[in-house]
Amino acid sequence: MDKSHLALLCDYYELTMMNGYYLTGLRDQITYFDVFFRSVPDRGGYAIFAGLAEVIDYIQNLRFDAEDIDFLRGKGIFSEDFLRYLQQFRFSGDLWAVPEGTPVFPNEPLLTVRAPAPEAQLLETYLLLAINHQSLIATKASRIARAAQGRAVLEFGARRAHGAHAAVDGARAAFIGGCQGTSCTLSDALYGVPAGGTMAHSWVQMFESEYEAFRTYCELYPNNVTLLVDTYDTLKSGVPNAIRAFRDVLLPQGITDCAIRLDSGDLAFISREARAMLDAAGLTGCKIAASNALDEWLIRDLLSQGACLDIFGVGERLITARSEPVFSGVYKLVAIEDAAGRIQPKIKISDNEVKILNPHFKKIFRIYDRDSGKALADQLCLHDEEIATDRPLTIFDPQATWKHKTLRHFTVRELLQPVFRSGGLVYEQPPLAQIRDYCAAQLATLWEETKRFKNPHRYYVDLSQRLWRIRDDLLRQNGRADMARQVSEPK
């Protein structure tokens, strides 16, 4: 899809609400919307934020062309004044976002949009699909890369992705999360995600013998060659024929950088046997790659069993986040401005406590231990608040208000950064490799207890006292004093 023709990639009710705002005098009403998520995939301790670059491209190219207008006119419910407004549509608002690659936690704003109601409403669908998809894949990739314990992880999932865009953008997100490359060539061309690959079984089948297939491939691509050795019998023919091809073609050229790939069978046992065969042949530098429906749990088990593996090619379970394929991001109204520019907080209340949102225009401060550099907690504050670092700060666990910790000797960093002001881009997007390095550096600030796969430590995301009181007052004003008491206790 051409990025300049995405205006209709929205839920239909965005357009009916926009038309309604226009007809009822709310066209110029300034609103604040937050994008946040409610739970970490796979019951993990953190998520990785990704997708901001796609959001920026979308907003910069958001236009309604004549064909779009004709289609909407044909629906028979939109006013001509509204359609004329769409013909001139440009985003004129402000947007703040957490930098891509940042570890993030439930119920804190990843993006905040300040814009007239029709503009802010139109962004909902695309912002959510971009952030939900790429954050999901980046989070899964981070888990898989951590399971690999420093070994290379390559994203191999294009053929199992949920459509072309999911393959291309998913490879980008996986790179941010910790993968070193992809099989998807278009992700390399568009984003610079390093693309590479080996061979399919069909290559081996096309030749009279497995050895001939291997030898030919080594002759064609002698640098960084990887041979797929399980077409017939991995240990009886595949590995021996690979060794023979390496000796006959690569070693005479002084090339020792090579690899084999295992794609079936008992990967722990076969990799140990293959390693012994390669070492006995003097190919101690030859790496062993593994693929075949891998994920973080299988990789962790393989390594615990002594598997001799150096590279993991991870496909369907990464690109589809198969274990939990939905990221729980939502887009909610949190405030409006009156005619005098005063911000009026808004709240959504539900009998399901997890769906009660944090109102108002907010900041996020990440609090770090001054000595270790480790992240201690996040605090959501009103937009005009600051955190003093010269006195103790008490942080409460919002899910168990009796749990708290008092922080001393800390530093703070504001996470939300301006991206658009009055419709103009003010954010300098870093190169993708820099985003990946930033992600790794920020993950290193989290305690291992927060990053473990099972029963991770819950990271504290607290509200400032002012924000808590506003939230509590809104609950009480709407007849939900029961919820106000359950949410927190005064600090």
Asked if residue 144 belongs to a domain, the reply is no
Domain with 442 in it: what CATH number? 3.20.140.10
Q: How far apart are the first and last CA of the chain?
A: 51
Identify whether 187 is part of a domain. no
Using only C-alpha atoms, the chain has a radius of gyration, in whole angstroms, of 26
Confirm whether 146 is domain-assigned: no
What single-letter DSSP state applies at residue 260? E
Distance CA 169, CA 288 (A): 28
- Residue 185 resides in a domain: no
CA 97-100-105 angle, 5° bins: 75
User: Does the pLDDT value for residue 393 go beyond 90?
Assistant: yes
Residue range 208-248, pLDDT digits in tens:
999 999 999 999 999 989 999 999 999 999 999 999 999 99
Q: How far apart are CA 96 and CA 383, in angstroms?
A: 12
Strand partners for 181: 154
Q: What is the pLDDT of residues 425-482, one digit of tens each?
A: 999 999 999 999 999 999 999 999 999 999 999 999 999 999 999 999 999 988 776 6
At residue 83, what is the residue type? L
For residue 375, what are the domain limits? Answer: 3-138+325-487
pLDDT value at 491 more than 60 = no
Does some domain include residue 158?
Answer: no
Cα-Cα-Cα-Cα torsion 188, 190, 193, 196, nearest 10 degrees, comes to -10
**Confidence band, pLDDT 50/70/90 cuts, at residue 2:** low
Q: Is 86 exposed, middle or buried (0-12, 13-18, 19+ CB in 10 A)?
A: buried
pLDDT digits (tens, 9 = 90+) for 72-127: 999 999 999 999 999 999 999 999 999 999 999 999 999 999 999 999 999 999 99
Residue 9 domain-assigned? yes
pLDDT of residue 488 exceeding 90, the answer is: no
Tens of pLDDT, residue by residue over 155-202, are: 999 999 999 999 999 999 999 999 999 999 999 999 999 999 889 999
Give per-residue pLDDT as tens, 469-479: 999 999 998 87
Q: Is the pLDDT of residue 489 over 60?
A: no
Residue 135 has pLDDT above 70, yes or no: yes
Longest dimension (CA), the chain: 82
Number of domains observed in the structure of the chain? 1
DSSP string, 277-325: HHHHTT-TT-EEEE-SS--HHHHHHHHHTT---SEEEE-HHHHT-TTS-
- Mean pLDDT to the nearest integer, 345-351: 88
Are 301 and 264 in contact by the 8 Å Cβ rule? The answer is no
**What is this structure's pTM?**
0.95
DSSP 19-67: HHHHHTT-TT-EEEEEEEESS-GGG-S-EE---HHHHHHHHHT----HH
211 inside domain: no
**Beta bridge mates, 94:** 114
Asked whether residue 256 is assigned to any structural domain, the reply reads: no
